[in-house]
Amino acid sequence: MKTFNEFGLEPKVLRAITEMGFEESTPIQEKAIPLALEGKDLIGQAQTGTGKTAAFGVPLINKIQVSEDRIVALIMCPTRELAIQVAEEIEKLGRFKGIRSLPIYGGQDIVKQIRALKRRPQIIIGTPGRLLDHINRKTIKLDDVQTVILDEADEMLDMGFMDDIQSILKLVPETRHTMLFSATMPPNIQKLAQQFLKNPEHVSVIPKQVSAPLIQQFYIELQEKQKFEVLCRLVDMEAPELAIIFGRTKRRVDELSEALQKRGYSAEGLHGDLSQHQRDAVMRKFRDGSIDVLVATDVAARGLDVSGVTHVVNFDLPQDPESYVHRIGRTGRAGKEGTAWTFVTPREMDHLHFIERLTRHRIARKPMPSTAEAFEGKQRITAEKILDIVQNDEANEYKGLSIQLLEQYDSVALLSAALKLLTRESKEVNVELTPEDPLRVKKRRPDIRSSGRKPNSSSYMSKRTDRFGGGSGGSRPPRREGSRDGGWDNRGGGSRDRGRSYGSSSSSSKRSDDYVNN
Ligand SMILES: Nc1ncnc2c1ncn2[C@@H]1O[C@H](COP(=O)(O)OP(=O)(O)OP(=O)(O)O)[C@@H](O)[C@H]1O
Ligand SMILES: [Mg+2]
């Protein structure tokens, strides 16, 4: 891998990169940075957690003149949390150069944002809804924008932001430099690319498997009503440093986070119905480790980078393979390992196999953890904590009493009592969650784009004309209109698909759930 010195960057930008602790560039950075520095339009695809933010951030910061007092660059992101995070990384990269950037997203006081805009930021990082709001109020002008970046472009399309993005881009001069980035690139992205990019270069570093390689992937087959108990055992057994648990709906997330709290876990929920203040507070607590478990809807599936996330659990199966790839990609980032567990009810097994085929990765089956394994896991944590104290010699003031006790009692009995006291006892609180309908593959057609595709297209994660839906009734999850066309690839097994069709049709877009007031 190249070091950052080899890109011909300004010293102040290099210094920022060094301060951030980056030594070598990642594969996507190595490919994308030189092209972006030349001003080429790009479609950049690389696995989750491999540094796509800096792949566009570094050339952007390098290019902008500090003397500039207009908005010259615009980065669009699908969620508020991601806009905040990307803004932080851009801020770090531009620190020594003195570049001014500003996140603009829904839920934050608009008057405050208007005040911040008066400080003349050169880069705006925003979610489409709030950006349009500012554009309409004339508090943001895009006439001087030279660079546009769409992070998680495919998700923004999926959420129904196409019109908003179109309206925004119409206001940006045509001579602009445009780049799209995501770990997944379904075929409908091509339409967006054709419309908004000029002879884009496809920069893809996706090897055979789309999901990040450092993530161990498992699934557990269970009944819906067993999920919560199995989750508690799993968390006890695995003892994650930090974990993200994905639920299908907002109600699910609320119930699950409450249930975990009742059982004594330090968990909180994140979804689009919380106030921005609450969302910020939850993310802050998760990032600083004051809670260990974040329970979330897909609002946390894309782009979020929290170091220390060792585990992802799909408490409910995700709607589609892209969502699976992004959810599990919250762990196994920046060269670290991670583990992803997916709960699957028997009726959802087809859906799981579908995800396996499209991500070209076999997810290993695991039995449900036993109570004994859960108990062992909890003891192990206690023992590790004790050994840490021993190794760091941090318990000197307790030694006198220890010696006295050891003269009178058996050492094993004493240590066992100490372990018992320190081990988090499971609170036997009864917990009931509203069951979710199983997720089923609704309709499958043969792979209509399995032939005549460009040779490199196999590296793009894409879908057949599939619709995913749940059963009927109840409060159903938002659904994506499965009107994407195109295929996975010739080897993707499209023709082997069973042509069953299930369920009823529904076409509410994801936006109806988590992304209003974006
Ligand atoms: N060259 C590098 N060396 C070391 N760490 C890096 C490097 N580039 C980026 N990182 C770190 O890797 C982590 C993941 O980066 P980033 O969030 O940009 O990934 P991503 O590819 O955008 O993932 P996702 O698809 O989930 O959005 C971040 O913590 C980032 O600071
Ligand atoms: Mg990213």
Last residue of a domain, one of 180, 204, 228: 204
Distance CA 424, CA 115 (A): 48
CATH of the domain at 107: 3.40.50.300
Mark whether 199 and 220 lie in a shared domain: no
Does residue 464 share a domain with residue 433?
A: no
Dump pLDDT digits (tens) for 109-161. Answer: 999 999 999 999 999 999 999 999 999 999 999 999 999 999 999 999 989 89
- CA 260 to ligand 1 center in whole angstroms: 30
Q: For 47-76, what is the HEC assignment?
A: CCCCCHHHHHHHHHHHHCCCCCCCCCEEEE
Cβ count within 10 A of residue 54: 25
Query: 3-state SS of 469-507?
Result: EECCCCCCCCCCCCCCCCCCCHHHCHHHCCCCECCCCCC
- The answer to whether residues 37 and 160 belong to one domain is yes
User: Does 319 share its domain with 259?
Assistant: yes
Higher pLDDT, 210 or 137: 137
**What is the model's pLDDT at position 114?**
97
CA distance 462 to 470: 21
Residue with the larger pLDDT of the pair 426 and 449: 426
What is the average per-residue pLDDT within 507-516?
41
The reply to whether 249 and 272 lie within a common domain is yes
* Ligand 1 in reach of 128 Cβ (< 6 A): no
Tokens linked to 431: 């917990």
pTM to 2 decimal places? 0.85
CB under 8 A, 24+ apart: contacts of 450-456:
450/487, 450/489, 450/490, 450/492, 450/494, 450/495, 451/490, 453/486, 453/487, 453/489, 453/490, 456/202, 456/204
**Mean pLDDT, range 457-464, rounded to an integer:** 33
Give the per-residue pLDDT at 246.
98
| Mean pLDDT, rounded, for 72-86 | 97
Residue 47 CA, ligand 2 centroid: distance in Å: 9
For residue 155, the SS3 value is helix
pLDDT over 50 (residue 487): no
For residue 457, pLDDT beyond 50: no
Token representation of residue 452 = 């005549």
User: Which of 411, 441, 471 delimits the end of a domain?
Assistant: 441
Structure-token pair, residue 384: 């590790």
What secondary structure letter does DSSP report for 129?
H
Smallest CA-to-CA distance from 304 within 244, 369, 356 is with 244
Strands 439-443 and 467-470, how do they pair? Answer: antiparallel
Residue 107 has pLDDT above 70, yes or no: yes
pLDDT digits (tens, 9 = 90+) for 166-189: 999 999 999 999 999 999 998 888
For 282, residues 6+ apart whose C-beta sits below 8 A from its C-beta are 268, 269, 270, 274, 291, 294
344/371 same-domain check: yes
ipTM > 0.90 (yes/no):
yes
50 lines ligand 1 (CB under 6 A): yes
Q: Is the CB of 26 under 6 A from ligand 1?
A: yes
**pLDDT higher than 60, residue 473:** no
CB count in 10 Å sphere of residue 414: 14
Query: Can you tell me the distance from the alpha carbon of 111 to that of 108, in angstroms, rounded to the nearest whole number?
Result: 9
- The whole-angstrom distance between residue 112's C-alpha and the CA centroid of its chain comes to 28
**Ligand 1 site, residue 44, Cβ cutoff 6 A:** no
What letters, b where the CB count within 10 A reaches 16 and e where it falls short, cover 82-102? bbbbbbebbbbbbbbbebbbb
Q: How far apart, in whole angstroms, are the C-alpha atoms of residue 294 and residue 247?
A: 11
**Residue nearest atom 14 of ligand 1, based on CA coordinates:** 49
Are 37 and 164 part of one and the same domain? yes
Q: Within this chain, do residues 164 and 282 fall inside the same structural domain, yes or no? A: no
Please report, for residues 143, 184, 358, 453, 492, the alpha-carbon distance to residue 489 in angstroms, rounded to integers and kept in the order given: 41, 14, 9, 8, 5
Sign of the Cα pseudo-torsion (182, 186, 187, 192, in order) = negative
426-432 — which CB contacts under 8 Å span 24+ positions?
426/232, 426/236, 426/263, 426/264, 426/374, 427/262, 427/263, 427/264, 429/262, 429/263, 431/228, 431/259, 431/262, 431/263
Of 468 and 518, which is predicted with more confidence? 518
Which tens digits make up the pLDDT trace of 235-253? 999 999 999 999 999 999 9
Q: Are residues 313 and 387 in the same domain?
A: yes
* Residue 298 · residue 323 · CB < 8 Å: yes
Can you give the pLDDT at residue 438?
Answer: 84
- Average per-residue pLDDT for the chain: 85
Which atom of ligand 1 has the smallest separation from the CA of 28?
A: 21
Q: Residues 340, 342, 343, CA angle at the centre, nearest 5°?
A: 150
pLDDT per position as a tens digit, 29-74? 999 999 999 999 999 999 999 999 999 999 999 999 999 999 999 9
Q: What is the total count of domains within the chain?
A: 3
Query: Where residue 260 falls among pLDDT bands split at 50, 70, 90?
Result: very high
d(CA 428, CA 46): 44
Closest approach atom of ligand 1 to CA 89: 31
Residues 393 and 513 in one domain: no
Pocket flag, ligand 1, residue 47 (CB < 6 Å): no
Helix, strand, or coil here: 344? strand
Give residue 191's domain range: 4-204
Most confident by average pLDDT, 323-327, 500-504, 505-509 = 323-327
Query: pLDDT-based confidence at 429, cuts 50/70/90?
Result: confident
Distance from the alpha carbon of residue 130 to the mean position of ligand 1, in angstroms:
26
Q: Does residue 354 share a domain with residue 321?
A: yes
Q: What is the DSSP letter of 24?
A: B
Q: How confident is the model at residue 212 (pLDDT cuts 50, 70, 90)?
A: confident
Give the pLDDT score at 441. 64
Give residue 502's pLDDT: 25
User: For 337-383, what is each residue's pLDDT tens digit?
Assistant: 999 999 999 999 999 999 999 999 999 999 999 999 999 999 998 99
- How many angstroms separate the CA atoms of 247 and 293, rounded? 13
Given its phi and psi angles, is residue 276 left (phi above 0), alpha (psi -120 to 50 degrees) or beta?
alpha
* CB of residue 327 inside a 6 A radius of ligand 1: no
Are 191 and 219 contained in the same domain?
A: no
Find tokens 């799209």 and name the residue.
180
305 lines ligand 1 (CB under 6 A): yes
Domain boundary among 405, 422, 441: 441
